[in-house]
Structure 1
Amino acid sequence: MEIIKTQNKIAKNKEFKKLGFTYLETAEIVVHLNTLMANYQVHYNKLRNFHWNIEGPEFFELHDEFEKEYNTVKKNIDVVAERIRVFGIKPNFTLKKTLELSELKETEQHLSAIEMVREVLKDFEVLHENMMSALGASLDIGDVATEQMLTDFLRALEKRNWMFTSYLK
């Protein structure tokens, strides 16, 4: 009889799990992913503005590079939002909420091409830190799918960081 009670208790507890993780286990990951998504959205907006407003001898090169970058970011935003959905949470991002959660700030003044690249590199630092925090949270509970997603993001971000840093030399 005790075994049946234990099995029923285990079965009831499993009802509250998503993919083998409890809501509490994934809560920290979701918080980090929400922050990452907010930062990505501000970064995306800045990249679009840089793409549209670049001027000078670097125009053709950076116009294309900013477009490549914002297309990647747009895809990553969708991947992050869908990962949050996997955990049973609905991302609800108004512009107001995005700006509240984001550590990145909009750039309102006109920037030179070099200043735009420096701004992108500053954003990369914040995004990298966000990814590392989320990665740590996913490793803590053994969430290899989120770990892989973030590792892929990190690999691409680090390569682009190297490229934009080399551009400034």
Structure 2
Amino acid sequence: MEAVKAKNKTFKKLGFTYLETAEIVVSLNTLLANYQVFYNKLRNFHWNIEGPDFFELHEEFENEYNTVKENIDVVAERIRVFGVKSNFTFKKTLELSKIKEQEKEISALEMVREVLHDSMLDAVNASLETGDVVTENMITGFMTELEKRHWMFTSFLK
């Protein structure tokens, strides 16, 4: 009986049930973990790029990690709006992230392919299912940036 009451209870500030809130926050925590691993990967690529495309990719990876750094803060603050603290350790981040670290040395072109391969915006589904328009708009903005990045890096690889 208590579970039914909790299921139907609304989150005072935003009007979502506790279960809807939990679904959104879980998906945002995964997004946050993905972004944090992706940020670290981009920093490593920025520091370790070599070859004839060094100057161009060094700058592009810096642009990318700066964008990701901003997105990390936006996602963490969105989680706080739901009354939940984002208390991430490196261990927890690596466990939650669908994006994996790159531990071996790879070429500049492989770095670009890896950046294109990493996807992290599954959280949009939870926002659509719960009617969380604010989170949906936030993630849609991220998707717009990612689509442009995908087009540019794909063009670079041709």
Q: Is the 8 A contact 1:17 1:23 kept in 2?
A: no
Per-residue deviation, 1:37 = 0.7
Match of 1:157 in 2: 146
Aligned partner of 2:125 in structure 1 is 136
What residue number does 2:52 align with?
57
Shift of 1:23: 2.0
1:24 aligns with: 19
C-alpha separation between the residues in 1 aligned to 2:126 and 2:44? 33
Distance 1:121 1:69 in 2: 12
| Match of residue 81, structure 1, among 76, 79, 84 | 76
Question: For residue 156 of structure 2, what is the aligned residue in structure 1?
Answer: 167
| 1:165 Cα deviation after fit | 0.7
The number of aligned residues is 150
Between the aligned partners of 2:142 and 2:96, the Cα distance in structure 1 is 20
Structure 1: where are the runs of 5+ without partners?
1-12
Q: 1:103, 1:25 → 2: CA distance? A: 22
Q: 1:66 corresponds to which residue?
A: 61
Is 1:93 the counterpart of 2:88 in the alignment?
yes
CA distance in 2, matches of 1:159, 1:21: 33
Question: Aligned letter for 2:99?
Answer: L
Q: Which residue of 1 aligns with 2:135?
A: 146
Partner of 1:68, secondary structure, is: helix
CA distance in 2, matches of 1:46, 1:76: 15
Runs of 4+ in 1 over 4 A off after TM superposition: none
Give the TM-score taking structure 2 as reference length. Answer: 0.90
Q: CA deviation at 1:17?
A: 2.3
AA in 2 matched with 1:57: P
Partner of 2:117: 122
Structure possessing the higher radius of gyration over alpha carbons: 1
SS in 2 for 1:18: coil
> Which residue number in structure 2 is paired with residue 35 of structure 1?
30
Query: Corresponding residue for 2:6?
Result: none
**SS of equivalent to 1:96:** helix
Q: Percent identity?
A: 75
Supply the AA of the counterpart residue of 1:65: E
Unaligned runs of 5+ in 2: 1-8
Q: Secondary structure at the match of 1:148?
A: helix
